[in-house]
Structure 1
Amino acid sequence: MTAAKPGLRHLDVDLAIVGAGSAGMAAYKAAARHTSRLVVIESSGYGTLCARAGCMPSKLLIEAASRAHAIRQAHRFGIQAVGARVDGAAVMARLRELRDYFVDSVIREAEAWPAAHRLTGRARFIGPCELQVDDHAIVKARSIVLATGSRAVVPDAWREAIDGHLLTTDTLFELPSLPRSIAVIGGGAIGTEMAQALSRLGVRVVWLMREDAPGGLRDPALRPLAIPLLSEGITLITRAEVRSMAEAEGGQARVEFDANGERGSAVVDKVLVCIGRQPVFDGLDLDKGGLTLNKEGLVDHEDRSTRVGESCVFLAGDVSGAHPLLHEAVRDGRRAATQAVAQPGPPHHLPEAPLEGGRRTALRIVFCDPQIAAIGRGHEELTRSHHPFVTGVADFTDQGRSRIKDMNRGALRVYVCRDRRVVLGAEMIGPCAEHLAHLLAWSVHQGQTIDTLLDCPIYHPVVEEAVRTALGHARAQLAGQATMRPASPLSACADMGIGL
C-alpha cells in the first residue's frame, strides 16, 4: 500500500465507484445493500447523461416536433389549424426547463447519500486497487467500479475547422433558439431522431449518413422502406463520406462530402455530429492500476461479471464500450457492484433470468416517426450464423387501427426458430413501435413459442394486432403455407371472430 501522504485524507473501503452517472448511481444503490464501506467519486457534478444531454432533452425536442407536425397534418382529419407557428426560443426554453427538472431530481437523489459516501474530484490510479482523488484523498479499495461514461466522438480536424458551428448532444440543447439550417452527420438513433425533429420544427436539414440504414435498421427488407418515410422535408444523402469542413461566408459553415461517386457540399448555420460515443478514460492512469487499452481503445473485461481479468476492477455503463442505453447501464451498475462486493474469490453471478450473451434480451428503440425498434437477434445475425428461422411479416399499410390514426406506414418482421418455434427477435419501422417492441422483447426474454403467444388475448382494434398478424404468418410458414393471405383493414375483425 502507498505510504501515507501528509495532508491527504486516507480511506479504506470495500468498494470505490468512479463516476456518478446512471451506471454509477445504480452501482451505489446495489452495493449499499451489502456494505456501508463504500465511496462514490465524481469529478464534474451529479446529473446523468440521460437526464442532462441524452434521453430526456432529446425526447422533449421530439415531442415539440410531433405537436408541430400534428398541427400541419390536422387537415387530413378535417381540422383547419390556421396561424400556428414554431417559436424556436420558446421550444428551447421549455426543453431546458423540464430538462433541468429531471437533472435536479437526479442531483437530489445523489446528495441524499451519506456525506461520507461522496467524494468530489478527479480519480486516478496510483496502484492496483488504489486511487488518488485530486490532492485531497487517497482511497484504498477492495474493489473498484469504473463508471466514467462516454463522450461524443468528434474528429479533431472538424472541431478545429468550425468549432463555433459544431454541435453534439452535449451542446445542442443549450442553444437559445433553433438554427435556420443544420447538417446532421450520422444515421444512428440520435442522428435519425434529431434530423427529423429539427426539420419538423422548421429547420432546414441536410442529413448525411455513411450507409443507407436510418436508425440502424439491419433487415434488408425494411431499409428501403425507411428512406422515404424518414426523409420527408429533409435533404437526405446516403453513403456519404465527409471530406472536410470550413468556415463559409455569412457566418455559416461549409461541409464537403463524397456520396455515391459524386462530390457535394452543404452550407449551414450549425453542424450536429452524431457518429458515436467513446469511453472516457482520461486522466485515470490505467497502467498504474494494471489495466491496458486494446486496439479499439477499450478495456477488455468479462461480459457477465463485468470484471477486468483477475483484477479488482469492474466496468459499468458506457465505459465498457457496450451500447449506450440507460437500461443496460443501470443493469451493468447493479451487476458490477454486486460482483465487486462479493470479492475476494470468484464472481457470483446474479440470480436473475437467463442472460443472452451476458445481457438481457437486446432492445433498441428509435423515437422517430414512424418509430424503429430492434429486439433480440436480428435478421443479419441469424443469417450469418445459419440459424434456421422463418420471418413473420405484418404490413402496416392496411392495418386497421394504424389507418384510423393515419399512421399506416412501415412493417414488422418477426424471426421465429424453425425447430423450437420460439421468437428469436424482431425488427420494425412503424406506428407505436416503442410499445410493440416491449411485448416482443418480453416474449424473447421468456422464450415464448408462437403458439403460446397466439393464444394470448389482443383487444380490437389496436396496433398490437400487427404482432398477431406477423406471428400467424410465421406459423403458416412452419406449417408449409408459404404465403400470407392478402391483408385488409378488417382482417383483424375476422381473426377475432367479429362479424363483418
Structure 2
Amino acid sequence: MAEEIRTDICVIGAGSGGLSVAAGTAQLGRPTVLIEKHRMGGDCLNTGCVPSKSLLAAAKAAQAVRGAGRFGIRTGEPQVDFAAVHAHVHGVIAAIEPNDSVERFTGLGVRVLQTSARFTAPDVVETADGHRIRARRFVVATGSRAALPPIPGLDRVPVLTNETLFERTTAPAHLLIIGGGPIGLEMAQAHRRLGARVTVLERGTLLPKDDPELVDVVRGRLAAEGIDLRERVEILRVEPAAAGVAVLLKGLDGEERVEGSDLLVAAGRRPNIEDLGLDAAGIAATPKGIAVDARLRTSNRRVFAIGDVAGGPQFTHVAGYHAGIVVRNALFRLPAKVDYSALPWVTYTDPELAHVGLTEAQARERFGDVRVVRWPLHENDRAQAERETAGLAKVVLRRNGRILGASIVGAHAGELIQPWVLALASRLKIGAFTGLIAPYPTLGEVSKRAAGSFYTPSLFSDRTRRLVRWLAKLG
C-alpha cells in the first residue's frame, strides 16, 4: 500500500525556485516535502546558467590571449583543449552541487523524494514510487525545456539543445545555431572563441526585446569576431548533409543552402506541465504554462506555480523572486504580488547587454514626451585603461527626472545595471545618481556621468550664466 505523508508544504521540482521555497519553509519550521524526478538544481545548475557561463568564461580566457597584443604582450593563437574546457564546465557544476544537494536539504529538515509526481485530487499528489502526499499548500516549480520549432526535417538530423550541448568533449567544426536570442548569441560567441566556425540563423532581428541601439554594439562585436549572422531569414527545411547537417533558407536574396557540422536549436522554451495531473487538481494551463494570478496562485487556491512553468519571464532570478512571493503568501498570509517593473536581465555576450525597466521605444509609446541621456564608455578612464571602450549607458526618463528604464552595453554591464535596478525599485529620480561620489577610476562612473548629462542643458544655459554673473557682483 502507498505511504501517506501529511505535510504543510509540498514542492514539485527542485530547480532554483523550488529549492528556494523548500529551504525557506523548512527553516521557518514548517514540514516540507520536495519532489524531484531528475537532478537537484534543475536546469540552471545542470544545463543552463552555470554551464553556459562557465563555457563563456573559458572562451573569454581564449580571447584574452588573442587580444593581449593591445597591451604590449606578445602571444600566439591560443591552443584550445576542448576536453579540458568540458572538464572546467563540469568542475564548476560539481563545486556548486552541494548547495543544491539532497543531503543539504535533508539537513535543513526537508523530506526529499527523488521520483515523479502527479496530482490525483485537488489536495493530493501521488508519486511513482508509491507515496501519497496531502499538503496544506502545493508549489509547482517544474521549469521548462528547449522547444523545437516545427521545421520540416528537424527530426531527421541530430539536434543539440542546452540539455545536450555541454556534454560535448570535442568542438564542432561549424556550428549552426537556430535562434538569435540570448542563449543563441552567448553560445555563438563562446564556440567561435573556442575555435569553431559559427552561423546564427534568426527569422527576426537579434535580441528583439532589447534596445536596438545597444544591440547594434553586440552585433558589431560578434560580426567582427567572425560569426556569420543571418537575420530575417525563413528556414524552409533541414536535412542531412555530407558535412553533417544542411539548412535551406529563404532570405532577402532568395534561397540558400548552409551546411555545418552540428546544429544547435535555441529558439524558445516550453513549460514542463505534462504528466502532472493538472486536470485532476483543477489547475488551468495553456501551452505557455500554468495560469496564475498576481500572487502566483493557480485556479486551485491550494496550489502555487513559480518560475518558468508559470509562463512569465524565464530567468533564474525570477524563479527566486517568485519563491519569496510564495513564502509570504503561504506562511505569513500576506497578499504579496509580483511586480516586474524593476526586473533586470542580462545577455552575457562580450560586451554584455543589461537592461531594466522600459526601453526608449516602450517609454515613448506609453508616455510620449521623454528624455534620453547617454554616456559612452570611451569617455570613461577605466574603460580606456582596460581597452574595453565599446558600449554606452542609456537612461530613459520623464521630463521631471523620474527614471523609466536603463540599458548598458559594455564590459561588466550586468554588474553596472544593479544601481539602476535599485533606483527603479525605490522610485528614485535621476538626482540620486548625480549626488553620489563614485570612486575613480571605475566603470561605475559611467552611470553618474549619464545621470549628470540630464542637467547639463539647464546647468550651462544662458539663464544660469546670468545668475552667476549677478551673484558675482555681490562680491
TM-score where L is the length of structure 2: 0.90
User: What's the CA shift for 1:229?
Assistant: 2.1
Q: 1:55 aligns with which of 49, 52, 72?
A: 49
Q: 1:349 aligns with which of 322, 325, 335?
A: 335
Q: 1:299 aligns with which of 290, 314, 330?
A: 290
- Other structure's SS at 2:17 match: helix
**1:145-193 deviations in Å (ceiling 9; x for gaps):** 10111111113656853442x1111111100221111011212111111
- Other structure's SS at 1:184 match: strand
Change in CA separation of 1:360 and 1:52 when aligned onto 2, cut-off 3 Å: farther
Change in CA separation of 1:110 and 1:387 when aligned onto 2, cut-off 3 Å: farther
**Quick check: 1:27–1:335 contact (8 Å CA) kept in 2?**
no
**Quick check: 1:450–1:475 contact (8 Å CA) kept in 2?**
no
Is 1:176–2:179 an aligned residue pair? no
> 2:425: which partner in 1?
445
> 2:311: which partner in 1?
321
User: What's the CA shift for 1:119?
Assistant: 2.0
Q: 2:279 aligns with which of 280, 287, 302?
A: 287
> 2:473: which partner in 1?
none
User: What's the CA shift for 1:394?
Assistant: 0.9
Change in CA separation of 1:38 and 1:289 when aligned onto 2, cut-off 3 Å: same
User: What's the CA shift for 1:83?
Assistant: 5.8
CA separation in 1, counterparts of 2:42 and 2:86? 20
Q: Which runs of 5+ in 2 are unaligned?
A: 462-475
Is 1:106–2:100 an aligned residue pair? yes
**Quick check: 2:138–2:302 contact (8 Å CA) kept in 1?**
yes
> 2:160: which partner in 1?
167
User: What's the CA shift for 1:276?
Assistant: 1.6
User: What's the CA shift for 1:236?
Assistant: 0.7
CA separation in 2, counterparts of 1:297 and 1:328? 16
- Other structure's SS at 1:283 match: coil
CA separation in 2, counterparts of 1:75 and 1:452? 40
Map 1:64-83; keep pairs closer than 5 Å: 64-82=58-76
Change in CA separation of 1:254 and 1:389 when aligned onto 2, cut-off 3 Å: same
Note the aligned Cα RMSD (angstroms).
Answer: 2.2
Map 1:112-127; keep pairs closer than 5 Å: 112-114=107-109, 117-127=111-121
User: What's the CA shift for 1:337?
Assistant: 3.3
**1:97-147 deviations in Å (ceiling 9; x for gaps):** 2222223442142343447x2223211111112111115011122211101
CA separation in 1, counterparts of 2:206 and 2:415? 22
Residue type of the partner of 1:349? P
> 1:4: which partner in 2?
none
Q: Which runs of 5+ in 1 are unaligned?
A: 1-6, 482-500
CA separation in 1, counterparts of 2:185 and 2:448? 28
> 1:93: which partner in 2?
87
CA separation in 1, counterparts of 2:404 and 2:459? 18
User: What's the CA shift for 1:479?
Assistant: 6.9
Q: 1:207 aligns with which of 184, 200, 206?
A: 200
Q: 1:29 aligns with which of 18, 23, 29?
A: 23
Change in CA separation of 1:220 and 1:95 when aligned onto 2, cut-off 3 Å: closer
Q: 1:374 aligns with which of 355, 370, 377?
A: 355
CA separation in 2, counterparts of 1:211 and 1:399? 34
> 1:417: which partner in 2?
398
User: What's the CA shift for 1:314?
Assistant: 0.4
User: What's the CA shift for 1:461?
Assistant: 2.1
Residue type of the partner of 1:209? E
> 1:493: which partner in 2?
none
Q: 1:267 aligns with which of 259, 274, 278?
A: 259
Change in CA separation of 1:83 and 1:234 when aligned onto 2, cut-off 3 Å: closer
Change in CA separation of 1:20 and 1:478 when aligned onto 2, cut-off 3 Å: farther
Residue type of the partner of 2:183? I
- Other structure's SS at 2:417 match: helix
Is 1:454–2:434 an aligned residue pair? yes
CA separation in 2, counterparts of 1:128 and 1:261? 56
> 1:185: which partner in 2?
178
**Quick check: 2:288–2:311 contact (8 Å CA) kept in 1?**
no
The total of aligned residue pairs comes to 459
Residue type of the partner of 1:61? L
Identity %: 27
CA separation in 2, counterparts of 1:87 and 1:37? 48
Q: 1:400 aligns with which of 354, 359, 381?
A: 381
- Other structure's SS at 2:213 match: coil
**Quick check: 2:117–2:125 contact (8 Å CA) kept in 1?**
yes
